[in-house]
Structure 1
C-alpha cells in the first residue's frame, strides 16, 4: 500500500474559491476513479493557504491506472479548464508515501 499526499498552495484569499469548485466538480470524479480518500485538510498553523489531501492506493501501478482513467474522462478535463480559469492555485506538490512496517496504516 502507498499513500499520495497532495499539497496545493492557493493565492491569499482564494482558498474558499478553490474548495467550492473542487467539491462540486473534482471530488465526485476523484471518488469515482481514485477511491481511497483518507482525508482532506487546510492548513491552520504554519504555511497558510495550503490545501492537503491524502489518498490510499494498492500500489504505484494501481495509482497510475486509476489516474489515467480519470484523466481520460471529459468531465475531469472540464474541471481542469475551470480550475485554470479560476487561477486560485499557485503551487502544487505531490509526495508518494510508503508506510513503515510499524505504521498503523
Structure 2
C-alpha cells in the first residue's frame, strides 16, 4: 500500500472558505476517482491554518492511474481553477509513505 499524505497551509482566516470550495466543487470529483480519503482534517491546535488529507493506493501505478483520470476530469479542473482564483492556498507538502507492517491501514 502507498499512502499520499498531503499538508496544505492556508492563508489565516481562510480555512473554512477553502474547505467550502472543496466541498462544493472538488470533493465529488476527487472521490469519484480516488475513493474516500483515509482522513481529511484541519488543525484545531498547534500549526493552525493547516489541512491534512491522506489517500491510500494499492501502489505507485494505482496512484498514477487514478490521479491521471482525475486530472482529466472537467469537474476537477474547474475546482482547481476556482481554488486558484480564491488564492487561499499558501503551501503544499506531499509525502508518499508506506505503512509499517505492524500497523497496516485498514480500509
Aligned equivalents of 1:36, 1:80: Cα separation in 2: 19
Residue 26 of structure 2 corresponds to residue 26 of structure 1: yes
- Superposition TM-score, scaled by structure 1 size: 0.95
How far apart, in 1, do the equivalents of 2:13 and 2:101 lie?
40
Deviations 1:13-36 (A, max 9, x none): 000110000011111011100014
Question: Which segments of 5 or more consecutive residues in structure 2 lack a partner in the other structure?
Answer: none
Partner of 2:68: 68
Counterpart position of 2:48: 48
Which TM-score applies when normalising by structure 2?
0.94
Poorly superposed stretches of 4+, deviation over 4 Å: none
How many residue pairs match? The answer is 105
Task: Find the aligned partners of 1:104 and 1:79 in 2 and give their Cα distance.
Answer: 32
Across the aligned residues of Structure 1 and Structure 2, the Cα RMSD in angstroms comes to 0.9
Matches of 1:36 and 1:56 in 2, distance apart?
Answer: 9
